[in-house]
Copies of this chain bind each other. A is one copy, B any other.
């Protein structure tokens, strides 16, 4: 998978800003590569990019139309297909984060085949993977883990990767979810992999590298989440992390979409580190990344201090304080 920039961001007629969450993430991290947005008349989201038609986007140099909009059920609405076909005709590839595949439309498939354009259904994992071997590979790896889903693992990973780049460290961000894949143009949607191959797909995603090269692997789920712990442990075993960063949202009381409470932070760190030692005996947690967006400045500072005292680990909010201290902790 190699999604080419620049991107023309397609929102269609999504009903609210939340439905453009994927696109918003892409624009945040790839601002310079997102040259415009395509919105229908009744679109209620805005990426603060120049509005363009498909033709204008093509003229401006867009290589890929990115469907970064989410709608109920993840379906591909019939009335979006004209625009997608037009983009293919205008010379673009198309990448979609919807559940329903681009390839479910015969018009899209036929047009792409005729013109030799690429279609990327980034929520799906079409590759075949080997089973994981757990053999230690060269290169260093950092994996974000969490006390729940949606606590900032992708953001934290990207922020750490950006900080590493700033320091001229050899580093790659390894995307494991649809937004991350659209941001870097490659990756594996790990929760869409057949369960026998979770750790194997992760090994493929983060191959042998130079001894001082860092792969920053985007984490998913939590070992304490009753829906998704299988994905999490496969990611842990496959990425054999040297460093774990625990991500946490301090105001949440229940885990996402289930009735289970947020686990104790230290217990959560301990269990993730323990799982990681199976494929990397030297695995350790090097810090905590807290999403304090629901707190005011004073409460946020207090929260970070408390967690730092409690865990004895560098504790940051990637948005509020940055991740300098996490990258410092790697050396």
Contacts and interface: CB of A to CB of B under 8 A. Distances in A.
A128 B119 CA distance: 24
A3 to B, nearest CB: 22
Copy total for this chain: 2
A133 interface: yes
Contact of A226 (B132, B191, B274): B132
A199 B231 CA distance: 10
A229 to B, nearest CB: 5
A160 interface: no
A199 B279 contact: no
Nearest to A135: B259
Contacts of A278: 224, 226, 229, 260
Interface string A231-254: 111100110000000000000000
A116 interface: no
Contacts of A193: 194-195
Nearest to A259: B135
A196 interface: yes
A134 interface: yes
Interface of A: 131-135, 190-196, 198-200, 223-224, 226-234, 237-238, 257-260, 271, 274-275, 278-279
